[in-house]
């Protein structure tokens, strides 16, 4: 499996990476632990060796599941995790109200002060059952802590060998530049999909010019671009997608019509629609990695198949022309 380099770092990852948010159950209406472990095993079997997780995904549950799934295989896996979203206390900026897996209330705060970052790293190392993290990323910017202070902590972790490379998530161009001024910045993880392309205007060109990898999350727009969601779809209780504008009946209908238009391209490559959409994502200028979640073996195997789908320039242009006619009500 050909791996791609994260910026100027020594970390190389699979261009399609296992996104471990959903397996934590949090905000996805629950998840089965055995199915989640099976999904990770299936990904590894198919050549996806990179896993992206975070402490807040199930309040430690996702990281613990990853640790169980890769036990005895650590040297074969690249672990990407995060810091800066806290539920243990009220320091930092309040982000939103949520619920723990048992249904009790949880208040999420953005907090990335120096000592907190170092403590979070130790906690993640313990949950993950490892002594190093391949890529350590701030989950969301903390406006109550100077970027310089946060990155000072990250620099210490790099020096100690507890992390191999440093990244950011959900940073705009200005914040990305600030981070890169303080540490060797490997990557920025941001939302990007066929129907959410705002980063192409400023962030992606800057990342290309400065050799910073772009890790695209939600390339299937949280399931919308799979073609499996129909107008009137009912999500499980606790699923964050319920009520999102992307999933209005009108938008679902428009997106599914677009997917039918590009289906002949998928059929010609013996690929599924999700595989085609993922392949399109990593074919875009500046996009290094597509994060795709899976909650069971079948989904994981389907995701891995995207790495075998190769698109010509003409096919990408064809898809983009059809995308140009897709207007969603957001």
Active site residues: 57
Closest CA to 213 of 9, 54, 51: 9
Q: Quote the DSSP letter at residue 178.
A: H
Buried b (16+ CB within 10 A) or exposed e, 115-145: ebbbebbeebbebbebeebbbbbbbbbbeeb
Under DSSP, is residue 289 helix (H, G, I), strand (E, B) or coil?
strand
- Cα separation, 138 vs 141, whole angstroms: 7
- What are the two backbone dihedrals, phi and then psi, of residue 278, each rounded to the nearest 5 degrees? -65, -40
Instruction: Give which of 136, 121, 140, 124 is closest to 61, Cα–Cα.
Output: 124
Roughly how many angstroms between the first and final C-alpha of the chain, as a whole number?
38
* C-beta neighbour count of 317 within 10 angstroms: 11
- Pairwise CA distance, residues 138 & 147, whole Å: 10
**Strand locations in the chain (E):** 4-5, 12-13, 16-19, 50-52, 78-83, 85-86, 93-99, 105-110, 133-138, 163-169, 185-191, 213-217, 287-293
DSSP per residue, 90-102? --SEEEEEEE-TT
Structure letter (DSSP) for residue 67? H
Largest distance between two CA atoms of the chain: 54
* Rounded CA separation 279/282 (Å): 5
Cα gap 291→298, rounded to integer Å: 17
Q: Do 53 and 129 form a contact (C-beta atoms < 8 A)?
A: no
């Amino acid at each position: 499996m050909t791996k791609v380099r994260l910026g100027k770092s020594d970390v190389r990852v699979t261009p399609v990476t296992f996104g471990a948010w959903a397996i934590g159950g949090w905000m996805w209406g629950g998840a089965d632990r055995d199915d989640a472990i099976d999904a990770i095993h299936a990904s590894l079997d198919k050549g996806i060796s990179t896993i992206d997780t975070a402490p807040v995904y199930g309040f430690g549950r996702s990281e613990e599941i990853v640790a169980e799934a890769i036990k005895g295989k650590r040297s074969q896996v690249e672990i990407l995790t995060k810091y800066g979203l806290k539920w243990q206390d009220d320091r930092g900026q309040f982000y939103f109200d949520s619920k723990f897996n048992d249904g009790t209330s949880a208040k999420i705060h953005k907090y990335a002060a120096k000592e907190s970052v170092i403590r979070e790293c130790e906690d993640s190392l313990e949950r993950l059952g490892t002594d190093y993290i391949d890529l350590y990323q701030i989950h969301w910017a903390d406006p109550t802590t100077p970027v310089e202070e946060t990155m000072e902590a990250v620099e210490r972790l790099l020096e100690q060998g507890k992390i191999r490379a440093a990244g950011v998530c959900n940073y705009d161009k200005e914040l990305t530049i600030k981070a890169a001024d303080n540490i060797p910045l490997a990557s920025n993880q941001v939302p990007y999909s066929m129907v959410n392309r705002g980063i192409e205007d400023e962030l992606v060109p800057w990342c290309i010019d400065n050799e910073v990898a772009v890790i695209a999350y939600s390339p299937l727009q949280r399931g919308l671009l799979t073609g499996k969601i129909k107008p009137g779809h009912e999500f499980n209780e606790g699923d964050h997608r319920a009520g999102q504008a992307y999933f209005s009946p009108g938008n679902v209908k428009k997106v599914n019509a677009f997917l039918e238009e590009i289906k002949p391209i998928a059929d010609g490559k013996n690929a599924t629609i999700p595989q085609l959409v993922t392949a399109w994502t990593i074919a875009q200028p500046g996009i290094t990695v597509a994060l795709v979640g899976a909650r069971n073996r079948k989904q994981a195997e389907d995701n891995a198949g995207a790495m075998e789908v190769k698109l010509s320039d003409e096919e990408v242009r064809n898809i983009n022309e059809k995308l140009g006619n897709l207007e969603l009500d957001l």
